[in-house]
Amino acid sequence: MNSVLTYVALSMALFVIGAIGVCLRRNAIVVFMCIEMMLNAVNLAFVAFSKLHGNLDGQIAVFFVMVIAAAESAIGLAIILSVFRSVASVETTDAGELKW
Amino acid sequence: MSFIGFVIGVVAIVSGVCVVGLRNPLYSAFALVTNLLAMAGLYAALDAHFLAVSQVVVYAGAIMVLVLFVLMLLNLKSESGRKLGFIRSAVALVIGCVVLLSALPPVFARFAGMSEVTVSDNARDSEGTVKAIGQELYTKYVAQFELSSLVLLIGVVGAVMLSKRRSVTLQPRAGGLVGGSK
Amino acid sequence: MFELLVLLIKVGFVLNMALVLGSLCTWLERKGSALIQDRVGANRAGAFVQSDRWYVKPALPLIRMMGWLGVINTLLCDSVKGLWKEDFIPEGTSKFLHAVAPIIAVLPIMLAFAVLPLAPDFNLFGYYIHPRVAPIDAGLLFVLAMGSVAVYGVAIAGWTGNNKFSLLGSLRAAAQMISYELPMGVVFVALIVVYGTLDVYSIVEKQGELLWGIVPKWGVIVQPVGFVVLLLAGMAETKRGPFDLPEAESELAAGYFTEYSGMKFLLFWLGEFCEIALFALLLSLLFFGGWQIPWVKLPEGVWWAALIGHIVLMSKVVFFCILQIVIRWTLPRFRYDQLMNLGWKMLLPVSLLNLAVTAIVKVLA
Amino acid sequence: MVGDMLSLESLLASLVLVPAVGSALSYLVGRVYPALAGAVASLAVIAAFVCSLALWSGLSSLSGGITTSLSSWLTFGDFNAPLELYFDQLSAVMCLVITGIGSLIHIYSMGYMAHDESRPRFFAYLNLFVASMLVLVLGKSLPVVFIGWEGVGLCSYLLIGFWFTNREYASAGRKAFVMNRIGDVGFLVAMAVLFRYCGTLDVVSLNTPGVLAKLPADLGLIAGFALFVAATGKSAQLPLFTWLPDAMAGPTPVSALIHAATMVTAGIYLMGRMHGVIELDPFVPAMIMWVAIATAALSATVALAQNDIKKVLAYSTVSQLGFMFVAVGAGFYAVALFHVVTHAFFKACLFLSAGSVIYGCHHEQDMRRMGGLAKKMPLTCISYGIATLAIAGIAPLAGYFSKHAIFEALAESSNVYLAASLPTLSLVATLVAICTALYMARSFIMTFLGSYRGTEHPHEAPLVMTAPVLVLALLSVVGGLWLHHSLPEYVTGPLPATSLHAESEGGLISYIIGSLPGIVGIGLALVMYLFVPAISSAISSIAWPLERLFAGKYFIDELYDRSIVRPLTGISQALSRGINQTFVEGSGNAVGIVTRAVGELTCRATSGQVATYVLIMFGAIAFLLSVFVKV
């Protein structure tokens, strides 16, 4: 087994940790941060595979993921803020008016 | 994996667990900053220098500062007394382990045949220097690159529209979240 | 083994230099502000030292001189006082973060020194030595990255203060720093366009060439607008001068470090002065030819040439330190909206325009 | 040279893109600076005109047409309709007319709409129309043409109902939309038939005999007929013409651009583009001819009794379109195209002058409350007069040449179905030409001569409006002389060759003879309406049923209402009561009850907690991974 695969394993572990966080945490901002962590885990896998394959495509993909993450954070935080304005809380359990 | 890579990996895992585990969202945020910086270190260890630096600039320098801003402005207390739920946590953990155990072996099996030699042969082509990344971005991926600028623009406009207050009395001051002294 | 030794020496040298420059700035600030405000400034501590000890006596005139100049007061007395003072930690906050914040504020500044070259490369004892700790090719980006990480120290400090003034101060500081990072980055890009490299060492080397065979190709000559923008943005980054909104005494007590005392407080001050030095170093390297002397070509790879280059560079750095301190004590403070307007409506568009013009000129030439 | 710097292909793409972008830009700019919307839109169209000119000059050095592929679009199985533009002589003429007249009308609109609040919307629609019209005439395959076809229909709908707060105007837009949909069915049927048998929808290869030979004889008839149905919808022929007079509800520049100069000629363009299909079965041209003559006669008589200045012009347009279809039916497509061009000149001039009159009279459209305006708005009067002479077919103005060519085409038609009726058709056509001169002269007299009968204070329009009108008037004067040789020759290639011109060279005598119907009509009008008004009142007292018939537009709208709309409404109401409520709604309710029951059960799983959903999703991923992914 070569060493680059260790990074892939690490990325999977981080992804799973992030996913568990999304499932368990109720604070929308923490959920948001967990999603960022999952994105980063995927990025790490991209970079590792880029090294395995010997080209830069994976790193370019990471670059675009960063762009999307930046846009997502701007929009996501604005949404969280406006939810906070209307229900005075950022817990996902409190913003459940759209259920059913 | 070098020794330094190993240490950074451990830091990444531990800080990742902290993000999920710590009650105070602000601590989670600081743990995530640590995690992101560790990631930058891992990128550097994998010869992706440009990505390592932009990881620090974009994630640590911009995105997480925004998150911190929001957290500090909202001044949230730790998550309310209701417990996370033991059963729920257990289920999530079990599922996580299942994912990990069932997804890792196929990947390893697929790439196990690649020896260290081929990887190091490839390494020269995959060194993410600023020049190499720029070359790719502005030739092969130029359309996507331009599109991504559009995505960012839309993000900016969307964020401004969303955070504009509807009420007339509470107009935010230009530029500052806090506003000047009055 | 020898390489490790060289590395350690380099690390020690750079850290030492940063601290010495920082201390120099502290002293310059004390005496300079006194000069500008028509005061005398620190001139008591040590000025009247009496001693009959044989090992002190020969140095007495020097000590008295230093005391009269205020050096002892600023460097010795202040630090000793800081060490001895009570370390106050406000209630209901995280002790850990409170302790870590000043370190986070200083550390990135120190790290940023690591990628900046301090002299031309030279041969010594058959070894080729790069006088910088980490010769990475994306040096400019690294400096920018460190600048953005430095925000955390301030943010955490303000939050752990556990009061509104500190929090407001830290929010102001963070907003100001990320706002002014943008024009700074754009100016860096324009420089990269001009010199075609991200490596600070090559940028300095290219400034040694002559433009049309007459003028040295210094950054300030090929990028005058960039220089002005970077000067302003850099001063805002250091949160000093007319940009010291985060610690505006009349509004926010002392801003984000209101609740800090003793050595932690001094660390913030040290960080600030190191930042001045770092910034002066950046300006001299990027815009004023670094170790280059106009129209003089020093031999390459010789140790004495490197030494001369280093001295030249340091004199430029000291000049810019003095310049910043003079500006800081001359201009009144901005209002917050003026600060934001300057950043977003003036510097950013101007820097973008500058970049566009630079690119066009580069393509046409 | 332009062609060297920019490739013609990219120029062709930008020809369509410039007005499209201009549409968005003028709206966005107009939101902030309403005064600039018109300027932006006008600049876009002028840029498109310059593009057309460059393409036109580039085309002359090429043997074939210019093709640009924008992207692939519909591709499934054998079906392939790439998004391709094609520029040949036929498209060149259409593009020049669209963008040239379009630019003038855009400039005019800046004055006409200067006080309207929703200017940005107006100019955005107008530019969008130009873009769609260019797609229509540049489409290389029928689906692309259809995009433009629908696009212009949409813009027409939006612009007719531009002042949608007025109920009547909005319903006029709806009427136009529905009528056009009927025509679209024809277009779709034709496309389906052509693709099924010929295997291609490429407009160029569809005219080659080899491809058309694959079409069985009776299906050729159907395809031609369907295409003509499409053309009747867009070009307002019987029986689908009633929407065009109602379309005058839109702002006058719109009437000039869309409902006189360009969009309504799309049917002619389609006929010319698909002439191979039309001529497969000689019955189709014969039918076109009959319908065209009937339309021309019917609308010309209706125009005699209208008092609204725009209604007169609208019926006149329908009538002139009928003339164009006469040429199509006779097989002389180039002549039809020639009349399209000259008609675009003088009809746009007429509409814009009428717009100036309406503008000057503070939105008065009834000619009975006008009169004597010649002194108050001399420039408008001159241009309206010139265009009236042109449309009446007085030599040597533009209308004379094109009309004359149409008469010759009619006489030379070699269609077997028409052989017996040719003299009758020629007679009717001549009568219609007299009628044309009569009603146009009537409208001119009622508007500009005599004494003013209204209550407002009319004034001349500003320069930004009069200048384009004068340019158009100039074109109406010289257009015929200038183009009557060159244009039919130029388009030979995409269109079948015509061999008419030997006879139209006859000097002064032939000019006078050719102008006779126009002179007669104008003379009649002068006598009836200006010198001896008693005659006209006597006629109306004797022949009042005829006048009522004309004024009531032959009651075709009422006929449609009685025969189609009301029965349909009745049937649907009956169906709604009988079948719908018991069976359809019953079964719907049953579905609802079952769904509701299932929903009651499943809603317990949907707690509204995102975290739970994610957990379930995560579990599903785990399940899938563990079951299906094998080492």
Residue D585 has pLDDT above 80, yes or no: no
Percent above pLDDT 90 for chain D: 17
- Chain D closest-CA separation from residue B151 CA (Å): 19
Residue D6 has pLDDT above 80, yes or no: no
Residue C329 has pLDDT above 50, yes or no: yes
Token pair of D321 as six digits: 């379109």
- The DSSP bridge partners found for residue C211 are C215
Token pair of D576 as six digits: 């709604």
D607 in contact with A, Cβ within 8 Å: yes
Contacts of B180 in chain C (CB under 8 A): 335-337
B105 in contact with D, Cβ within 8 Å: yes
The reported pLDDT for the residue numbered D606 is 65
Name the nearest CA neighbour of C286 among C359, C223, C219, C230. Answer: C219
- What Cα–Cα distance (Å) separates residue A31 from each residue in A22, C295, D334? 5, 60, 70
Residues comprising chain D, all counted: 631
Contact C167 B72 (CB under 8 A): yes
Chains B and C touch (3+ CB pairs under 8 A): yes
Mean pLDDT of D430-436: 90
Query: pLDDT class for D181, splitting at 50, 70, 90?
Result: confident
The reported pLDDT for the residue numbered A98 is 53
What CA–CA distance (Å, rounded) separates C63 from C65? 5
Helices (H), C331-365: 336-341, 348-364
The reported pLDDT for the residue numbered D546 is 73
Token pair of B164 as six digits: 């504009």
Name the nearest CA neighbour of C325 among C40, C18, C39, C33. Answer: C33
Contacts of B106 in chain D (CB under 8 A): 629-631
Q: Do D500 and D565 share a structural domain?
A: no
**What angle do helix axes D142-160 and D217-235 make, rounded to 10 degrees?**
30
Q: pLDDT tens, D437-456?
A: 988 998 898 888 888 887 77
Residue of B nearest to A51 (CA): B126
Query: pLDDT class for B119, splitting at 50, 70, 90?
Result: low
Torsion of CA D594, D598, D600, D601, to 10 degrees: 150
What single string gives the DSSP state of each residue in D405-474?
Answer: HHHHHHHH---TTTTTTHHHHHHHHHHHHHHHHHHHHHHHHHHHSS---SSS---PPPHHHHHHHHHHHH
- Chain B closest-CA separation from residue A95 CA (Å): 15
List the single range of B117-131, C278-292, D323-337, D384-398 with lowest mean pLDDT: B117-131
Q: Which of these three, D534, D551, D568, is where a domain ends?
A: D551
Query: pLDDT class for D604, splitting at 50, 70, 90?
Result: low
Query: pLDDT class for B115, splitting at 50, 70, 90?
Result: low
pLDDT: which is higher, C67 or A39: A39
Contacts of B4 in chain C (CB under 8 A): none
Evaluate whether residue D293 is within a structural domain. Answer: yes
B contact residues 69-128, partner C, Cβ 8 Å cutoff: 69, 72-73
Residue D622 has pLDDT above 90, yes or no: no
- What Cα–Cα distance (Å) separates residue B83 from each residue in B78, B87, C146, D173? 12, 11, 39, 62
| Residue of B73, B157, B163 to mutate, interface with A, max A Cβ within 10 Å | B163
The reported pLDDT for the residue numbered B181 is 37
Contact A96 D614 (CB under 8 A): no
Chain A to chain B, count of Cβ pairs less than 8 Å apart? 234
Q: Which of these three, D513, D528, D551, is where a domain ends?
A: D551
Mean pLDDT of D189-194: 89
Q: Do D344 and D471 share a structural domain?
A: yes
Q: pLDDT tens, D250-287?
A: 888 888 888 888 888 899 999 988 888 888 888 888 99
Query: pLDDT class for D506, splitting at 50, 70, 90?
Result: low
Token pair of D423 as six digits: 């003299």
| Residue of B87, B88, B95 to mutate, interface with D, max D Cβ within 10 Å | B95
- Chain D closest-CA separation from residue B98 CA (Å): 6
Contacts of B116 in chain A (CB under 8 A): 2-3
Q: Do D547 and D559 share a structural domain?
A: no
| Residue of A20, A42, A55, A86 to mutate, interface with B, max B Cβ within 10 Å | A20
Evaluate whether residue B107 is within a structural domain. Answer: no
Query: pLDDT class for B174, splitting at 50, 70, 90?
Result: very low
D615 in contact with A, Cβ within 8 Å: yes
ipTM value, please give it: 0.67
Evaluate whether residue D594 is within a structural domain. Answer: yes
Mean pLDDT of D85-91: 89
D594 in contact with A, Cβ within 8 Å: no
Alpha carbon B115 to its chain's center: 30
The reported pLDDT for the residue numbered D565 is 78
Query: pLDDT class for B175, splitting at 50, 70, 90?
Result: very low
Give the nearest partner residue to A21 out of B19, B140, B165, using CB atoms. B19
Residue of C nearest to B57 (CA): C145
pLDDT: which is higher, D630 or D312: D312
Give the nearest partner residue to B61 out of C149, C248, C341, using CB atoms. C149
The reported pLDDT for the residue numbered B177 is 44
Mean pLDDT of A59-81: 88
- Chain B closest-CA separation from residue D616 CA (Å): 9
| Residue of B97, B119, B140 to mutate, interface with A, max A Cβ within 10 Å | B119
Name the nearest CA neighbour of B159 among B140, B143, B177, B132. Answer: B177
Chain A to chain D, count of Cβ pairs less than 8 Å apart? 31
Residue D79 has pLDDT above 80, yes or no: no
CA-based angle C340:C341:C343, to the nearest 5? Answer: 65
Residue C44 has pLDDT above 90, yes or no: no
The reported pLDDT for the residue numbered B120 is 58
Residue D607 has pLDDT above 80, yes or no: no
B65 in contact with C, Cβ within 8 Å: yes
Q: Do D509 and D575 share a structural domain?
A: no
Question: In the predicted model, what is the mean pLDDT of chain A?
Answer: 83
Residue B45 structural domain: 1-78
| Residue of B53, B71, B73, B152 to mutate, interface with C, max C Cβ within 10 Å | B53
Contacts of C191 in chain B (CB under 8 A): none
D609 in contact with A, Cβ within 8 Å: yes
Contact A17 B96 (CB under 8 A): yes
The reported pLDDT for the residue numbered D131 is 93
Q: pLDDT tens, C238-268?
A: 888 788 877 777 777 777 777 788 888 888 8
The reported pLDDT for the residue numbered A51 is 82
The reported pLDDT for the residue numbered D124 is 92
Contact A32 B162 (CB under 8 A): no
First to last CA, chain A: 50
Evaluate whether residue B124 is within a structural domain. Answer: no
Give the nearest partner residue to B60 out of C94, C148, C171, using CB atoms. C148
Percent above pLDDT 70 for chain B: 75
Name every residue in C having a CB less than 8 A away from some CB of B: 94, 97, 136-138, 141-142, 144-149, 151-152, 155-156, 158-159, 167-168, 170-172, 174-175, 178-179, 181, 198, 248, 251, 335-337, 340-341, 343-344
Query: pLDDT class for B15, splitting at 50, 70, 90?
Result: very high
Q: Do D560 and D493 share a structural domain?
A: no
What CA–CA distance (Å, rounded) separates C5 from C129? 12
Residue D589 structural domain: 555-628
The reported pLDDT for the residue numbered C130 is 77
Residue type, C89: I
Contact B91 D630 (CB under 8 A): no
Give the nearest partner residue to A96 out of D603, D608, D615, using CB atoms. D608
- Chain A closest-CA separation from residue B173 CA (Å): 16
List the single range of A44-48, C139-143, D489-493, D575-579 with lowest mean pLDDT: D575-579
The reported pLDDT for the residue numbered D257 is 87
The dihedral sign for the CA sequence D591, D597, D602, D606:
positive
Subunits with 3+ Cβ pairs within 8 Å of C are: B
Q: pLDDT tens, C174-217?
A: 888 888 888 998 999 898 888 888 888 888 888 877 777 777 88
- What Cα–Cα distance (Å) separates residue C345 from each residue in B156, B174, C352, D148, D290? 16, 11, 11, 44, 70
Give the nearest partner residue to A90 out of B28, B74, B159, using CB atoms. B74
The reported pLDDT for the residue numbered D5 is 44
How many domains in chain B? Answer: 2
Q: Which CATH number fits domain A4-87: 3.30.1150.10, 3.30.360.10, 1.10.3720.10, 1.10.287.3510?
A: 1.10.287.3510
Q: Are residues A17 and B13 in contact, defined by beta-carbon separation less than 8 angstroms? A: yes
What CA–CA distance (Å, rounded) separates C116 from C147? 14
pLDDT: which is higher, B34 or C163: B34
Contact C141 B53 (CB under 8 A): yes
Q: pLDDT tens, D453-484?
A: 877 778 888 888 889 999 999 988 888 888 87
Count of Cβ atoms closer than 10 Å to residue B128 Cβ: 26
Strands (E), C135-271: 210-211, 215-216
CATH number of the domain bearing residue B52: 1.20.120.1200
Q: Which of these three, D525, D551, D577, is where a domain ends?
A: D551
Place of tokens 């005064």: D35
The reported pLDDT for the residue numbered B169 is 46
Contact D615 B92 (CB under 8 A): yes
Evaluate whether residue D175 is within a structural domain. Answer: no
Residue of A nearest to D604 (CA): A100
The reported pLDDT for the residue numbered B166 is 59
How would you classify residue D100: left for phi > 0, otherwise alpha for psi between -120 and 50, otherwise beta?
A: alpha
Residue of D nearest to A15 (CA): D618
Residue of B nearest to C157 (CA): B72
Residue type, B103: A
The reported pLDDT for the residue numbered B61 is 81
Q: Do D540 and D463 share a structural domain?
A: yes
Q: Do D611 and D593 share a structural domain?
A: yes
What single string gives the DSSP state of each residue in C103-120?
Answer: HHHHHHHHHHHTTS--S-
Question: In the predicted model, what is the mean pLDDT of chain B?
Answer: 77
D602 in contact with B, Cβ within 8 Å: no
Helices (H), D86-166: 89-112, 119-138, 142-160
D28 in contact with B, Cβ within 8 Å: no
Residue D434 has pLDDT above 60, yes or no: yes
Evaluate whether residue B176 is within a structural domain. Answer: no
Q: Do B64 and B133 share a structural domain?
A: no
Residue of A nearest to D610 (CA): A92
| Residue of D596, D604, D610 to mutate, interface with A, max A Cβ within 10 Å | D610
